Amino acid sequence: MDSGHQYSGVQFKDATAAQASTSPRENRVVVGEMDFFSKEKNTMASVELDLKVPSLGIKSEDLTVNTGLHLANTRSDQSMVDDGMSPHEDDKEGKSELVAMQAELERTKEENQKLRAMLNQVTSNYNALQMHLVALVQQRRASGNPQGHDIEAKSSNKHEGIVVPRQFMDLGPGGDIDEPSHSSTASRDRSLSLRSHTAKYTREDSSDNGWSPDKASKLTASKATEQAQDATMRKARVSVRARSEAPMITDGCQWRKYGQKMAKGNPCPRAYYRCTMATGCPVRKQVQRCADDRSILITTYEGAHNHPLPPAAMAMASTTSAAASMLLSGSMPSGDGLMSSNFLARTILPCSSSMATISASAPFPTVTLDLTQSPNPLQFQRSAASHFQLPFASAAPGLATSLSPPQVFGQTLQTQSKFSGLQSAATAAITADPNFTAALAAAITSIIGGGGNHQTGNNNNSHSISLLHIDISSKIEIDDEDKLAF
DNA sequence: CGCCTTTGACCCGCGC
DNA sequence: GCGCGGGTCAAAGGCG
């Protein structure tokens, strides 16, 4: 976007979830380049959207469009009230000002109507796209195409293709596995290592839920299956390597240290943390410095959150969720029971050559996102005038990037491999930059929270307002065609 | 007082 | 069976 251009922007008011030590000024994340405002660029000094995203979908009536013109009106209102200008004192001046105000009011009304019309159009477009996606999915399932992932995967690669934020499936406890056939085949080889861990994890999880070993025998088969799935989800790990002097990278979650051990072959201790944002959250992470290069911090995430996440945490959550889902999905060519590291690497990070590695020989299938290859994780940073385009989905014709609210843990981007790959890369890189994370957190908080209402990860199908390019002081640009230059 | 970290003990799986 | 290593528990103490 033309940085010198006075473009329309979205001023996020609610940035309470911003983490780190961002100043209020930094929290005023301006999200601009909203295409549906492009025609208004010259007329609006500042477009302020108060987005109140409902739990399901977008309803234009829920989008309170504050064009910012209230500033002018406020000024006028204040002049009426505070200035104490009495008609008796200055009738002519008062009348002329009144006329000017009425004219301005009329103009603002017209602009408001235009904006509402545009929003309605955008909403209808979004709904149409969503319907199209549903049709595609149903078509795929009806045809029983085992390679059905290609439908969405291919469409996601086309700019003119229809890409709609996927209705992420929930792999968390009680969640449904979207494609059990895949999972069952792919899990055949994992089942061996699962056996030894399922009981352990159920015991651990029970500690918070009053579960006792005696109850184990009473578990139904479905319960056991659910717990096995949970254990499976926990087993998949995502390791993030990043250069950091801090003892821990900022990922937006609240962690409680519950142990520290000296690991073999590494003089640096390994710290164990568990998520404390909700009781019973099974997510753990390990933090350890690299033995070879102690400036490298290795953070390994494991598990799926069972609670809504703050926006800052969604970045890493999406990363690990996407990677874990990719590991656990049946979409990988695993006929021989071995994961194809090349395949997965390209899947998780299709744009990179060596940044993502998948360890199939490790006790746990682990995706390693290496952010240390470049001196700065944000090496792909562009010029100051560039913008960060959230890679949550590709753009539809005439639309900017669709910003679907990042889904929380336990949900997957399984069928949009490239999509998840970009998301993984971006989110991992983003989370390595606390400032960017905080700024992004402020932005997304305003979108999805509408004032603090975090999404629930289980049944929320909402997609917040689309068409957002985020323009933040620290900027990245990512799109399908222009891959991250790791 | 509540939350957190620390740290030794304990559990478990695995290899020999 | 035993030892090793990874992972977790839980009591004790610190801190705001």
Distance of alpha carbon A467 from alpha carbon A129, whole angstroms: 13
Between residues A372 and A396, which one has the greater pLDDT? A372
Distance of alpha carbon A63 from alpha carbon A45, whole angstroms: 20
**Which of A76-80, A304-308, A352-356 has the highest average model confidence (pLDDT)?**
A304-308
Best CA proximity match to A228, nearest among A261, A184, A278, A269: A184
Residue A153 has pLDDT above 50, yes or no: no
CA of A204 to C1' of B11 (A): 12
CA of A152 to C1' of B8 (A): 53
Residue A314 has pLDDT above 50, yes or no: yes
One DSSP character per residue, A434-481 reads: HHHHHHHHHHHIIIIITTT-PPPTTT---------EEE-SS-----SS
Amino acid (1-letter code) at residue A81: V
A342-352 burial, b for 16+ CB within 10 Å, e for fewer?
A: ebbbbbbbbbb
Span A337-357, mean pLDDT? Answer: 43
Residue A96 has pLDDT above 50, yes or no: yes
Condensed to tens digits (0 to 9), the pLDDT of residues A4-35 reads 333 333 333 333 333 333 333 333 322 333 33
The angle, 0 to 180 degrees and rounded to 10, between the axes of the packed helices A149-157 and A91-143 is 140
A291 Cβ contacts chain C strand, under 7 Å = no
Say what the pLDDT of residue A131 is. Answer: 61
Distance of alpha carbon A352 from alpha carbon A447, whole angstroms: 30
Say what the pLDDT of residue A120 is. Answer: 67
Condensed to tens digits (0 to 9), the pLDDT of residues A132-143 reads 665 666 566 555
Condensed to tens digits (0 to 9), the pLDDT of residues A434-475 reads 444 444 444 433 333 333 333 333 333 332 222 223 232 233
A25 Cβ contacts chain C strand, under 7 Å = no
Give the bases of strand B that a protein CB approaches within 7 Å: 3-9, 12-14
Domain A235-329+354-371 annotated CATH 2.20.25.80: yes
Distance of alpha carbon A26 from alpha carbon A132, whole angstroms: 38
Best CA proximity match to A330, nearest among A317, A318, A344: A344
Condensed to tens digits (0 to 9), the pLDDT of residues A257-295 reads 999 998 888 888 899 999 888 877 888 889 998 888 888
Q: β-pairing, A296-302 with A237-243?
A: antiparallel
Cα angle A2-A443-A257, degrees, rounded to a multiple of 5: 135
Q: Do A256 and A276 form a contact (C-beta atoms < 8 A)?
A: yes
Best CA proximity match to A403, nearest among A415, A389, A417: A389
Closest nucleotide to A265 by C1' from CA: C5
Domain ranges of chain A: 235-329+354-371
Q: How far is CA A323 from CA A97, A255, A285, A433, A440, in A?
A: 61, 21, 15, 20, 21
Say what the pLDDT of residue A271 is. Answer: 92
3-class secondary structure, A381? coil
Residue A317 has pLDDT above 50, yes or no: yes
Distance of alpha carbon A400 from alpha carbon A125, whole angstroms: 12
Distance of alpha carbon A323 from alpha carbon A346, whole angstroms: 11
Residue A56 has pLDDT above 70, yes or no: no
CA of A399 to C1' of B10 (A): 58
Say what the pLDDT of residue A273 is. Answer: 92
One DSSP character per residue, A405-440 reads: PPP-TTEE-TT-HHHHHHHHHHHHHHHT-HHHHHHH
Say what the pLDDT of residue A327 is. Answer: 61
Helix (H) or strand (E) holding A348: helix A341-348
CA of A263 to C1' of B7 (A): 15
Strand B footprint, Cβ within 7 Å = A 193, 196, 199-200, 254-261, 271, 276
The model's pTM: 0.42
Condensed to tens digits (0 to 9), the pLDDT of residues A188-242 reads 333 323 333 333 333 333 333 333 333 333 333 444 444 444 444 456 788 888 8
A300 Cβ contacts chain C strand, under 7 Å = no
Span A332-350, mean pLDDT? Answer: 39
Best CA proximity match to A466, nearest among A2, A119, A135: A119
Span A385-412, mean pLDDT? Answer: 30
Say what the pLDDT of residue A124 is. Answer: 62
Q: Residue A11: beta bridge partners? A: A30
Distance of alpha carbon A467 from alpha carbon A481, whole angstroms: 18
Distance of alpha carbon A268 from alpha carbon A416, whole angstroms: 38
